[in-house]
Amino acid sequence: MTSVLEEKLRAAFPPEQAHLLAEVIREAYDDLVKAKDFNELKSIVADLAQAQKRTEERVDQLTVTVAELAEAQKRTEERVAELAQAQKRTEERVEELAAAQKRTEERVDQLAAAQERTERAVRQLARQVGGLSEALGGSLEDLALEVVPEILEYRWGMEIEFCDRDTLPLRNGEYEFDLVIRGQIHGEPLLVLGEVKSNITESEVERFLNLVAQVTATEEIHPLFFGYRVERAAKELIRERGAVMVTTRGKYFPE
């Protein structure tokens, strides 16, 4: 660059001046380039400083964010620990409930077994009571067949021709009477129909008298009740309806 410039300067200046001027111009140009580079460098450094500042600010922000994340992580871990404890308590509770359920099922099985035993006992008792009732009923009927004819012979002067259980026709069907006595009083035929019950109630009296009313016979019909006990209301109804009652002890009413 200097030799070219120097040649151009020699056209107007002596060689020495031309050479000196070329050197001065070159040095000035070099200084100018260095200054420009320095300014560019200063600008770059300034930019780098701003970038560094922004970086530091970003780092500060990241530091805060990291701290917040660390705190959040800590809270998360604490919550996880709490959930783990809650899960443990839940599992323990589930185990307790399972044990309680097992005890309940065992108790239910025990109660079911007890209920089954009770039902068997009730059925057995029912059979015993039924058997006793049948035996008692049969005994009462047999006793009535023995006692009532003698009472009627004594009270009414009735001549007994037939005394037993018997089935008689009704207007709507038929009915087996516990006691059927046929005979005569002063030559007049008489039919005595008896109901044998251990306890004579008003409803039993009403029911039996309604049955007797449905019997069709040529003889005069007299309803009769035989048993251990008779309710007061049943006594009144027997008296009102013209029926009679004989007890197992041989008592006769109404007098």
Give the C-alpha separation, 150 to 201, whole Å: 25
Q: Taking the model in full, what pTM does it have?
A: 0.48
Give the C-alpha separation, 158 to 199, whole Å: 27
Q: Does residue 122 register a pLDDT over 50?
A: no
Give the C-alpha separation, 65 to 59, whole Å: 9
Give the C-alpha separation, 15 to 28, whole Å: 20
Range picked from 122-131, 133-142, 164-173 for highest mean pLDDT = 164-173
DSSP 8-state assignment for residue 254: -
pLDDT reported for residue 22: 77
Tens digits of residue pLDDT in 27-57: 877 777 666 664 675 676 467 558 667 867 8
SS3 223: strand
| Residue 57 C-alpha from the chain's centroid | 67
Q: Residue 225 belongs to what H/E stretch?
A: strand 220-227
Q: What domains, with CATH codes, occur in the chain?
A: 139-253 (3.40.1350.10)
Tens digits of residue pLDDT in 61-86: 877 776 787 787 888 788 878 877 87
Tens digits of residue pLDDT in 213-243: 999 899 999 999 999 999 999 999 999 999 9
Q: What share of the chain is helix, strand, coil (3-state, %, to 5)?
A: 65, 20, 10
Which of 155, 204, 145 shows the shortest CA–CA distance to 179? Answer: 145
pLDDT reported for residue 11: 79
